[in-house]
Amino acid sequence: MATTISAVPFNGTKEQEQELIELIAAHKGQKGALMPILQGAQGIYGYLPIEVQKLVAQHLGVPLEEIYGVSTFYSQFTLNPKGKYKVSVCLGTACYVKGSGDVFAKLSECLGIEGGACTTDGKFSLEACRCIGACGLAPVMTVNDDVYGRLVADDIPGILAKYAE
């Protein structure tokens, strides 16, 4: 199994680190401190990369593996940052039967990332979502606030090109 360390370079700031350390100090010694700390850490950084989890391990005195276990158990936590453009494909029932699986696979191929990951330049992140209430346009995907419907896999390169700058 490949490592899940994010390929996107970490660029946390000193201020963020300070904020996290204060947050840990505020919860240290409490029973069940890890959950609120991880929620807070994700609030500060937007995700929980190894650099952030190491800080938590170090300052809270909890093994890194235990923190990683918790962060991969709850789907609310993410190990990867969101890209500048957040690509989200509906894999809900209606979209799925209309072929959104192929659209998702094409995106994964074009961007070179798995679902849940972010391209190394920080530009695109890819994720699957459930129904966004636009079943009439199935299959549907969104790029930030832009909605694209009635997609086929071949539409994907053209759509991505629009965001290439």
Partner 1 sequence: MEMVNIEINGMPLSVPAGSTILEAARMHGIEIPTLCFLKEINEIGACRICVVEVVGMRNLVAACVYPVAEGMEILTNSKRVFASRKTNLELILSTHNRSCLSCVRSGNCELQKLCKDFRIYDETLYDGEKPASDYDDSAVHMVRDNSKCVLCRRCAAACAKWQDVAIIGPNGRGFNTHIGTAFNQNLSDVACVSCGQCIVVCPTGALAEKDNTKDVWRALGDPTKHVIVQTAPSIRVTLGEAFGMHIGTNVEGKMVAALRRLGFDGVYDTDFAADMTIVEEANELVERIKNGGKLPMITSCSPGWVKYCEHYYPEFTENLSTCKSPQQMFGALAKTWYAEKTGIDPKDIFVVGIMPCTAKKFETKREDESASGYPDVDVALTTRELARMIERAGMYLPKLPDEEFDAPLGTSTGAGVIFGATGGVMEAALRTAKEWITGENGEAVAFGEVRGTQGIKEATYKIGDLELNVCVASGLKNAKKVLESVKSGEKSYHFIEIMGCPGGCVNGGGQPVQPTAVRNFIDLKARRAAALYENDESKAIRKSHENPVVKEVYETYLGSYGSHKAHEILHTSYKKRNRF
| Interface positions with partner 1 (CB under 8 A) | 1-5, 50, 53-54, 57-58, 63-69, 72-75, 79
Among residues 5 and 97, whose Cβ is nearest to partner 1? 5
Q: Min. distance of Cβ 53 from partner 1 in angstroms? A: 7
Q: Min. distance of Cβ 32 from partner 1 in angstroms? A: 17
Contact (Cβ atoms closer than 8 angstroms) between residue 108 and residue 152: no
Q: Min. distance of Cβ 74 from partner 1 in angstroms? A: 8
Which residue has 């938590």 as its token pair?
56
Q: How far is CA 156 from CA 59, 91, 152, 160, in A?
A: 44, 16, 8, 6
- d(C-alpha 70, C-alpha 81), whole Å: 18
Among residues 5 and 161, whose Cβ is nearest to partner 1? 5
Contact (Cβ atoms closer than 8 angstroms) between residue 38 and residue 77: yes
Three-class SS string for 38-72?
Answer: HHHHHHHHCCCCHHHHHHHHHHHCCCHHHHHHHHH
Q: Min. distance of Cβ 159 from partner 1 in angstroms? A: 30
Among residues 79 and 137, whose Cβ is nearest to partner 1? 79
Among residues 52 and 126, whose Cβ is nearest to partner 1? 52
Q: Min. distance of Cβ 68 from partner 1 in angstroms? A: 4
Among residues 22 and 66, whose Cβ is nearest to partner 1? 66
Contact (Cβ atoms closer than 8 angstroms) between residue 115 and residue 80: no
